[in-house]
């Protein structure tokens, strides 16, 4: 995953978001913990990724 992200020139917050997203999705942490540990920027990015994933799941279920 790190190689793919580095090819996309993702910044540090993007790398952290990619890793933390999976933990949050699997209920291994909370958005509040992410915010406390990594800051508001990463928490906002993770929230956005979660919303995009939810929209993607809705589209898949309706097609």
Please give the biggest Cα pair distance in the chain: 38
Residues 9/31, Cβ–Cβ less than 8 Å: no
Rounded (10°) angle between helices 40-62 and 12-25: 60
Residues 8/15, Cβ–Cβ less than 8 Å: no
Confidence of residue 30 (pLDDT cuts 50, 70, 90): very high
Rg (CA), the chain: 13
What is the count of structural domains for the chain? 1
Task: Give residue 9's domain range.
Answer: 2-62
Confidence of residue 34 (pLDDT cuts 50, 70, 90): very high
- Whether 61 has a pLDDT exceeding 70, the answer reads no
Task: Kindly state the tokens that stand for 55.
Answer: 């929209």
Give the residue, 6 or 60, on which the prediction is more confident: 6
Mean pLDDT (the chain) is: 84
């Amino acid at each position: 995953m790190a190689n793919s992200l580095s090819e996309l020139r993702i910044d540090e917050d993007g790398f952290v978001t990619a890793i933390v997203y999976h933990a949050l999705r699997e209920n291994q942490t909370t958005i509040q913990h992410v915010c406390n540990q990594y800051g508001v920027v990463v928490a906002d990015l993770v929230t956005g990724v979660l919303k995009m994933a939810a929209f993607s799941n809705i589209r898949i279920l309706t097609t």
